[in-house]
Each structure stands twice: as C-alpha cells, then as structure tokens.
Structure 1
C-alpha cells in the first residue's frame, strides 16, 4: 500500500467514495471534490484534536494534549491568532527573497559530487538543503542541524504496520538554547521576529509570544520545513528518471521547471493524507458519518482523480495543473507553500545543470515509512 497506493485509491474513488475501515475505525474520502470541500469546512472537520489519525485517537483518550501554537492542530479562534503571527513573518515575498541563499545551499551540496558518478537525491540534497534553509531562517547553527534533522526523522518513523498507539508530541525543548541566545542577540531572522512581534491574542490581550509558544512554533517550522520538501526532491529523482524525455526537455528549457514542480506536487503528494475529527453528524454518498468519528482526506487520491484531471496517472510537465490539493485547502493551507515551490524549483535547476541524466540505483533505494509523509529515505542515482 505504501509502495503504490494508487490502484487501491482508484478502487476507493470508483467503488467506495466514502470508505470505512473497521480495523482502525476511520472513514476516508478519496475524490477531489469531496477532499477539497472537506478541507474547507473546518467547523465540521476539526483539527484541534490533531490532523493525524493516531494523534486524534490519543487526544480522544486523553493520552495527548495539544500545545498552543501548533497551528496544524488548532481550530479558530486560537488558530486564527497563531497563524496570523506566522503569516506576518512567513510571507511569500520574504520566502522568495531567499532564492540566492537556497541556491547557495544547493551549489554547496552538488558541486563536490560532479564527476563522482553517483549521488543521493535525499542524502546529498533533499535532506541537507531544506534543513540549512530553515536553520538559516531560525538562526540554528549548521553544526547542530544534522542532529536536529535526525531527531525529526526518528519522531516520524513507523516501525510496525499499525498507527502508533501512543504518539509523542515534542515540546521543542531542543531549541531553547537558540531562543535564549537570540533574545540576547537580536538579528533580522525569523527567530527575532517571533520574539518581538506584538499581537492580540484570543482573550484580547496585546502581548508577545511566550518562550513555550515560540518553542512550539520553531519545532513546527523545523519539522514541516524539512520533511515535505525532502520528499518532493526525492520524488523528482524517481519520476524524472522514469520520464527521461521530459527530463531532457527540462534540462534544455529550465523555464518549464516551475510547472514541472506543480505537476510533481500533484503526481506524488509528499503528505498524501490529512485526518480530521468529525464535530457533527454528516453524510457522504448516502452514508452517515457520526459525530465523534475520524475522517481521513486522501489528498494523494484526489490529485489523481479522473473526475478532475485527464489521464491523471500520466506525469506531464506541460499539464495545466490548476489547483491541486497537496498544500491542503482552506484555513490550513500550507504557509510554507511558496518556500517549498522555491526550493523545489532551485533544486531541479541546479541538479539538471550538472546532471542532465541519471538512473536510479534501485537496490540501494529505501522508502521512508511514516504516517504523515510518503517518499524516499535514500535515493542513490548513477549519473552519466
């Protein structure tokens, strides 16, 4: 299922557009229109208990408490306040201003590999470049970034075939030292903005963020700013290897790369499933979904829905992608979408400039097994 979910998702769309899984007690919607509408309706489908199946289960059983500021796991009014703070310091304009730095990180990763005959799309580029970027934004020293990323990976990894019955929520304590240092040494980075930005909270009080809230924000940004972009770059390695004619076209015409990134995001969504708590009785396709249920919106399936896209299982860099579901929809639309697009575009430009052809070393490739992202843990390739 993890290796190739698309045949199952196609059956769900055709035969069970509202699916119920008895073993793990959740519902799932798989068609584009259903997923889009559900993600937009935050009053019915709530994030405050989590947006991952096992987190919702643990919160319902009082085994897990969501810390304030974790906007992925919040509903209005708290979500409105906390997202508003991040949206001020995480604007598309500010993210696009990072292009030179992102390119520098890609060059540092790729230049030493020229002439080596092989490299790892994830280990050599997809993992370090996003970490360096978010570390630069947050003021985390590069010497510490690798261990932080390893900790993020350990927290996401699955070891069995079932959801984790006792998921753990990091409190971000590993970032406390950086926050304290930046409070004494303000700069023009995102960490300083989080420390100094004044806002009106849900009680009407004008204040700045507490240290505990900043820890949650930084923990969220470090994890979200790494995992999805890492998987996107890994998928670029496999999908373009499987479509060498389109890869050659991108190498010859780099202006096509931005649309190719959109098609990659549609074709292989790095985070293909978003869960919600059902806050009131609803029905889909003539079947009831009772209040208190968990519903999973299969974003990756919606992106391959024949009702939305012509020949959706074909990768096409010239496709008019329009709106896909990969970055979510509604109030939880990904704040880092502009940065992910930038990193994906620059990474492809720099890879194709140096390595216009490659073949995947499939025996050496390994999938990342998590319940929130889907992609490659390592993807070695042989270059020409």
Structure 2
C-alpha cells in the first residue's frame, strides 16, 4: 500500500511531527507496518518484531551505504573507521580495535569522575530556583566524560560541544546538510598530533599503537590518522548527543510523573530501572537507516534492492505486542529488552557507558533536587536526522 491510499503521513524532517511523533507511529504500527514515503523515497518499519529482525539481519539491511538518509541519497562514501556505517567483516575489525581502547577498566575508572563532574555543574544550581537542565548540566556532562576517556583537555570542550550539536542540527531553511559527516574527525586532529609526540596510557595512544590484520589486504598494519580521528569523532557525535538527551528526558518524564519521582527519591534502588524505562519510553535516537541489498518480502509487499528502510526504534519500543500499556511511563515495568541501543552486530558500543552516566546523573540530581517542574513554554527540542531530545529545558525548583 502506498501513502496515496491512506492519510497517514510520516516525515522525519517535519518538525511538527517531531514534536510528538507517537500518534503517527501508533497508526503506522497498526495500519501500515510497512510504510512508504513517496516524497523522500524511503520505507519505514515500526513494529518491534520487524525492527528487531532488520537490526540483526545485516546481510539484507546494510549499514554500509550510510547512517543518515541524506548520506545514502548523496552517495557519500563511509569515512574510514566509522564502523557504525560498516558491515562485517570490516565492521568487526574496526569495532574490535576500539574495544581494546575502551576497556571495562577505563569505563569503571570514569564513575568517580562522573560524580565529580555532576557536583561541579549541579552544586552551583542549588538554591537558584530555576535553571536550564540542558544548558547548565546535561549538555556538558557527556562531553566532559568522553573528554576524560579520550584525553581531550577540558578548556577545549565547550566549543567542541557546540560544534558537535550544531553539526547535527537541522533547520527549516536547510533540513539536509549532506557534507557534515565526512569531516567528523577533523576537530580532533591537533590532539592526535600531540599524542603521537607524547604517548600516554590513554585511549588515543592505544589507537596509535594498535596493530591488526586488515581483513581485505590480509596484511598487518596500524590505523591511519583518518581512521583514528573518525573513531574519536564517532564517540563524541554518538555518545555525547544521545546521553545528553537521555538526561534531559529523565528530567522531563519525572517532572511529568511526580508520584513516581517521589518513589525514586525515597528508594534509590529504583534508579537503574527508571533509567531503563526512560530509554524505552523516550528514545534519544529513535530512527536508524538501512539499505536493502536484495529484494525482501515485508507484509505482503516486495521492497526492492537498494531501497532505504528506516527502523523506527522509538515506535518499536511502544509496541503493545511487547510492552503492555506502552504509552504509560512506569518505573516498575519489567523490561526484558528494548531496542534503544539496537541489536546484533550494530548494538551500541557505548550502551554501558550511557547507562552509567544516566544512573549517576540521576542519583546526583536527586541528591540535590527532589521536586521540580519543567517549564515547557520555554523548552526547545533540537531537530536532527537521528536524535530527538531537548536543546533547552528550563526547570523550576
């Protein structure tokens, strides 16, 4: 069925839809589980089972054509080392190298630093009566955490955060900026040059010294500068933006549900599941892009080879076939699995760190503020091709 036969319309570039996509996603799940948008020539899957299957089946739904719809349409080649836009075996080669640099030990050491950073940003807000949860806290914390992991000096991070956010932002005048991704690693070039001359026990040095067998040439080699820089750029672009929006959504949904907030304030053992339910309820990255590498049958239709298929994880996570009463936020919900971090070979590399940051940020916030109200009249969503969350979120204590 085409969009011409129904009044359902979904457009990821439509800012009005992005404000509250759930009504149209609900209709798509129930009435048109394989949706086709004629204007932009893409398909969309919205049911949990379909999104899960497509996430796992990289042999049918490839990531190698691009992770943004505009990247696919422009035919922009994947920058070297950007493994989220690669498939096995190249994906596995690059991901394994990164796993050697981002070790559980390095992530564990970050916990104390995350609490220090929370105190640095939250303590001055105590007694203020009103502040912007995003601009005064959530947008800063993940940038500083990734900086601590990689070894980027703090004094450079504010401008870098603004660069990352603005590079992802869509505007009404220019909704599709096709040239931002290939330069994802450029801002970090000075630090790579410095670290090459001054090795240390850190992330960058590990990447500089890495040796591996190239899956194509079968020869042993090290990473190129472009590969290293794209590793770093990917960590910032993916890890900073999504985690910042997660923290913002925690503030928003707990403001909207004061009775459940009071439960978490009284019992901190509920924090971890509160973070998990928030990840399900408001997905920071609710749309993923794949391209079919062969014809595939879906809901009685044939999707031809070379077609863009968007995986609506934000819709899948509210599928009543999997989650009872899915549009209700419930910190006591038993969640066996959700699709916020994807599934299969492309499961989010930073999922563990995002959960740690979300948990500590909420614990530290609740230690200082037990009751707050979001002023939605001044709140502002940021519109990007893949991220959904707040740019500004004023809260009144």
- Give the TM bin, normalised by the shorter chain: over 0.9
Q: Is the 8 A contact 2:184 2:234 kept in 1?
A: no
Could you say which residue in structure 2 is the equivalent of 1:201? 214
Query: Is structure 2 residue 200 aligned with structure 1 residue 180?
Result: no
**3-state DSSP of counterpart to 1:218:** helix
Could you say which residue in structure 2 is the equivalent of 1:192?
Answer: 205
The one of 294, 297, 300 equivalent to 1:280 is: 294
Aligned to 1:156: 168
Match of 1:98 in 2: 110
Match of 1:34 among 50, 61, 76: 50
**Distance in 2 (alpha carbons) for counterparts of 1:219 and 1:149:** 11
Partner residue in 1 for 2:180: 168
Regions of 4+ moved over 4 Å: none
Give yes or no for contact 2:207–2:223 (8 Å, CA) kept in 1. Answer: yes
**Shift of residue 65, structure 1, vs aligned partner:** 2.2
For 1:182 and 1:239, the matched residues in 2 are separated by 42
Deviation per residue, 1:141-167 (Å, 9 max, x gap)? 111101111111111111128851634
**Gaps (5+ residues) in structure 2?**
1-16
1:27, distance to aligned residue in structure 2 (A): 0.4
Q: Which residue of 1 aligns with 2:123?
A: 111
Q: Are 1:58 and 1:165, in contact at CA under 8 Å, matched by a contact in 2?
A: no
Deviation digits for residues 210-267 of structure 1 (CA, Å, limit 9, x no counterpart): 2121111111111112000000001011100000011111111111101111100000
Question: Which secondary structure does the structure 1 equivalent of 2:389 belong to?
Answer: strand
**Cα gap change, 1:200 to 1:52, in 2 (>3 Å):** same
* Residue of structure 1 in register with 2:145 after alignment: 133
Q: Which residue of 2 aligns with 1:371?
A: 385
Q: Distance in 1 between matches of 2:303 and 2:173?
A: 25
Do the aligned partners of 1:95 and 1:339 also contact (CA within 8 Å) in 2? yes
Give the distance between the partners of 1:290 and 1:51, measured in 2 at CA: 19
The yes-or-no answer on 1:302 pairing with 2:319 is no
User: Which runs of structure 2 are paired with 1:1-384 in the superposition (5 Å)?
Assistant: 1-59=17-75, 64-160=76-172, 163-164=175-176, 166-169=178-181, 170-202=183-215, 203-383=217-397
| 1:97 CA displacement | 3.0
Contact 2:80–2:227 (CA under 8 A) maintained in structure 1 = yes
Q: Indicate the SS of the match to 1:307.
A: coil
Residue 98 of structure 1 aligns to a residue whose secondary structure is helix
Q: CA separation in 2, counterparts of 1:139 and 1:96?
A: 16
Bigger mean CA offset, 206-215 vs 303-312: 206-215
CA distance in 2, matches of 1:57, 1:283: 23
Deviations, residues 262-320 of structure 1 (Å, cap 9, x unaligned): 10000000000101011000011111100011000100000000000100001011111
The TM-score with structure 2 as length reference comes to 0.93
Distance 1:138 1:320 in 2: 35
Aligned partners of 1:96 and 1:339 also within 8 Å: no
What is the CA RMSD across the aligned residues, in angstroms?
1.3
Provide the TM-score with structure 1 as the length reference: 0.96
Would you say the 8 A contact 1:29–1:295 is kept in 2?
A: yes
Deviates further, 184-193 or 97-106: 184-193
Cα deviation, 1:102-150, whole Å, max 9, x if unaligned, reads 1111110101111111222111111111000101111111111011111
SS at the partner of 2:19? coil
